[in-house]
Amino acid sequence: LDVARLRDSFALVAKFGDEVPLYFYSRLFLNYPDTRELFPVTMAEQRQHLVEALQKIIALAEDPAGLTEYAGKLGVTHRRFGTRPGQYEAVGQCLLATLEHFAGDAWTPELAADWTAAYTLVSGIMNGAALEDEAENPAWYDGLVVAQEWRSFDVSVVHVTVQPRMVWTPGQSVPVEVPGRPRLWRWYSIACAPPCEALEFHVRVVDGGLVSLPFARLQPGARLRMGAPAGEMALRSADHDIVMVAGSTGLAPLKALLMQVAELDPAPDVEFFYGGRSQEGLYDLPWLELAADSHKFLTVTAVPGPASLTDTVMKEAHWRDRDIYMAGPAELVKSARERMTAAGVEPDRIRAEDFGWGEPE
């Protein structure tokens, strides 16, 4: 494999921007109509995935361990999309035709051979990992809503029982697909520690969002699907004292971690900072205050807007010598992380989950 040649040809093709995935998917859906039903109705955000994946694969071409890990995870992820092994050939053909189309005169038999070899390698790893995972885990989990409650005008707490049994660690999230939004998967953190009878989700309705509103409104009896739990938001050490910072529904993964910490003996000290747009936005404060009343290791500071949660944490928390866990709006996570690392906190002591949506800090 001539990696430099692959990289150069991809750079040439990538110059055509969004035209590349548009061409690829049009070709795929026209020639292999059975693949269309696997994708959501609107393809705008999906187009990005193809180019990003190719970029990543080229970046990892000279790092076999990194490539095996990335492609392996991707193969397992594809199980919940319903991808069948036979469809890899269809995707490979369309991908090569797309590259040839945009590379123009630069396309040579050698380049075609390189791309074929690269695709065969990656799809082989993906299929192998998917097959291995099949022996241990379901392609997805079926969820049944057993309770739903609005806690504020835009935050709903939804309880969901799961089939078959799911194994997860506190702090992890699952991709969720709700009725009426087929093939649109969004990540939600599990807000309880195993073994909770029903998974608890805290769903914030995001303005203009496609999935959060229908998810928040699900009533008991509704069914949904979940993918495999994942995420790095796990307890780093049982011995280090902790600062937790939750913005809005960023409380969810931290609540699961708090439940885990409460089981430790002795439990490390936890300073919990909980922020929201207003007092009403602190939708689970009573639970936190009750926990603080019954556990000496926990202190809770509520920071209703417009006070800045980051400013309060920087001023009042003992973040310099503790492990830090935070979750919620992108701006919160970004600004708190930047200010702490600029002040000398080792990046490894910070565990953070950026929920993506924005809320000015």
Ligand X SMILES: Cc1cc2nc3c(=O)[nH]c(=O)nc-3n(C[C@H](O)[C@H](O)[C@H](O)COP(=O)(O)OP(=O)(O)OC[C@H]3O[C@@H](n4cnc5c(N)ncnc54)[C@H](O)[C@@H]3O)c2cc1C
206 binds, among ligand X, ligand HEM, none (CB under 5 to 8 A by kind): ligand X
Going by C-alpha positions, the residue among 142, 136, 139, 204 that lies closest to residue 178 is: 142
- Nearest CA to 271 among 212, 229, 320? 320
**Contacts to ligand HEM from residues 29-48, by CB under 6 A:** 35, 38-39, 46
Q: Which long-range contacts (CB under 8 A, 24 or more apart) does 262-265 make?
A: 262/291, 262/295, 262/297, 262/298, 263/193, 264/238
Of 6, 13, 78, 274, the one binding ligand HEM (CB under 6 A) is 78
**Residue 173, H or E segment:** strand 173-177
Q: Which residues contact 314 (CB under 8 A, 6 or more apart)?
A: 336, 339, 340
Q: Which is nearer to ligand X, 123 or 248 (CB)?
A: 248
3-state secondary structure of 179: coil
Rule CB under 6 A: choose which of 12, 14, 22, 91 binds ligand HEM: 91
Enumerate residues 113-152 that contact ligand HEM by CB under 6 A: 119, 122-123, 126
CB of 56 to ligand X, least distance (A): 18
Site track for ligand HEM across 292-311, x = CB under 6 A: --------------------
Q: In what order do the strands lie in the sheet with 155-163?
A: 186-189, 173-177, 223-226, 141-152, 155-163, 199-204
Which residues in this chain contact ligand X in the complex, by CB under 6 A? 173, 186-189, 202-204, 206, 208-212, 231, 249, 252, 330, 353, 355-358
Q: 68 touches which of ligand X, ligand HEM, none (CB within 5 to 8 A by kind)? A: none
* DSSP letter, residue 205: P
Whichever of 54 and 303 has its CB closer to ligand HEM, that residue is 54
* Residue 77 binds ligand HEM, judged by CB under 6 A: yes
330 binds, among ligand X, ligand HEM, none (CB under 5 to 8 A by kind): ligand X
For residues 311 and 285, the answer to whether their CB atoms sit within 8 Å is: no
Which residues are at the interface with ligand HEM (CB under 6 A)?
Answer: 35, 38-39, 46, 49, 53, 74, 77-78, 81, 83, 87-88, 91, 119, 122-123, 126
